[in-house]
Amino acid sequence: MKKELLDILACPKCGGALSATDFGHADLIDGQLLCQACEIAYPVESGIPRFVEPDNYASSFGYQWNLFRKEQIDSFNGLLLSAKRFWSETGWNADELKGKWILDAGCGAGRFLDAASQSGAQIVGIDISSAIDAAKANLEGRENVHFVQASIYELPFRQGTFDFCYCIGVIQHTPDPPLTLRSIADMVKPEGMVAVTIYERRRWYTMLYSKYWLRPITKRMKKETLLRVIQTIMPVAFPVTNVLFRIPVIGKAFVFVIPIANYVYEKELNPDQRYAWAVLDTFDMLSPSFDKPMTEDEATSTLFASGIRNIRRQTDAGLNLVGNRRNG
């Protein structure tokens, strides 16, 4: 944990200032943060301040991202898919981020931290799960990247701390998506920017998508068992969906009724990478405790009620919304 991170941290229970033990002249690796108001102590372990218990509703993501730590990190896989997605879905550019404070709300293994941190910004990745350890292992050599394990509902920062906040592919996996949006909005300063990407509920038939048939069972399975099942069926499912998903017109119907994440039209992935991503993202579809898509109206009205203005939808697939916090 770097000293500059302490300047923006606050007790998630009462909002009080935090003091650190055992800081010295170097980064704080193991120690405590003590709230000067309510005197609650929070551990710092392996350089990460921890504000939640290790076992929580997002444990499947901790398992997933520590197992597939490098799979979707551009710096390791030699691709630019994560960077392209980040810049496209936020609508921001590197020049406007340089020197600013940014919050990655739900960073996982650091897929978008990797992209955003190359802008020269000070960026904080938070995750409720042990995925934060995977993110730190991936990116800890970058002096402008900070890591915090915390709940999105009790963010340990002073309100209005950040110039930018993004949350990509996380909100639908939280227990209360509208509350999640409000919590994110509180973190940015006046005129600060917010960008979110959420699973979209377009029509009544969205919830008929095949993964929702299976999730009542798969989300209750042991994560190790579910992964073994996916790895067992994938040698058959992958080549079959390679064919079915490509069939003109009716290929989209097969995508809807077969819960396999085979990105047959992603040209940047070679066959081995696409196979690995199919295993990873099929697990990602079936394992989370929550999967609650929102309509555009629901998300937009929640952001507006939380003080976000000039809300616009990006043109990417999915529900990508960007706006700025009102001034005053």
Q: How confident is the model at residue 328 (pLDDT cuts 50, 70, 90)?
A: confident
- What digits encode the pLDDT tens for the residues 63-105? 999 999 999 999 999 999 999 999 999 999 999 999 999 999 9
Q: Judge contact between 128 and 35, C-beta under 8 A.
A: no
* Mode of pairing for the β-strands spanning 188-198 and 162-168: parallel
Distances (CA, A) of 283 to 89, 253, 287: 23, 21, 6
Burial class (CB within 10 angstroms; exposed 0-12, middle 13-18, buried 19+) of 258 = middle
Pick from 247, 252, 177, 246: nearest CA to 210 = 252
Lowest mean pLDDT among 6-20, 95-109, 170-184, 314-328: 314-328
Selected residue with higher pLDDT from 328 and 291 = 291
Are 323 and 194 in contact, with CB atoms under 8 Å apart? yes
Residue by residue, DSSP assigns 214-256 as: HHHHHTTS-HHHHHHHHHHHHHHHHHHHHHHTTSTTTHHHHHH
By DSSP bridging, strand 162-168 and strand 101-105 are parallel
Task: Please indicate whether residue 178 or residue 2 has the higher confidence score (pLDDT).
Answer: 178
* Confidence (pLDDT) at 55: 79
pLDDT at 22 over 90: no
pLDDT in tens, 122-152: 999 999 999 999 999 999 889 999 999 999 9
Q: How far apart are alpha carbons 328 and 316 in whole angstroms?
A: 31
Task: Check if the beta carbon of residue 158 is closer than 8 Å to that of residue 101.
Answer: no
Residue 227 tokens, joined:
């992964």
Packing angle of the helix pair 131-139, 59-67 (nearest 10 deg)? 30
Which residue matches tokens 């981020």?
97
115 vs 328 pLDDT, higher one: 115
Report the mean per-residue pLDDT for the chain.
95
Report pTM.
0.96
Average pLDDT rounded to a whole number, residues 286-292: 97
Length of the chain: 328
Spell out the alpha helix ranges (H) of the chain: 3-6, 59-67, 74-77, 81-90, 94-97, 111-116, 131-139, 177-186, 210-218, 223-244, 251-257, 271-286, 296-305
Please say if the pLDDT value at position 315 is more than 90: no
Asked if the model's pLDDT at residue 278 lies above 70, the reply is yes
pLDDT in tens, 201-211: 988 889 999 99
Cα–Cα distance measured from residue 207 to residue 188, given in angstroms and rounded to the nearest whole number? 33
User: CA-CA distance, 196 to 277, in Å (whole number)?
Assistant: 22
Query: Domains in the chain, ordered, with CATH?
Result: 1-50 (no CATH), 52-200+293-325 (3.40.50.150), 205-286 (no CATH)
Cβ contacts of residue 172 below 8 Å, gap of 6+? 198, 199, 290, 291, 292, 293, 294
Lowest mean pLDDT among 24-33, 150-159, 169-178, 222-231: 24-33
| Residue 151 contacts residue 106 (beta carbons within 8 Å) | no
Range of weakest confidence among 25-34, 216-225, 237-246:
25-34
pLDDT of residue 25 exceeding 70: no
- Looking at the predicted structure, is the pLDDT value of residue 317 above 90? no
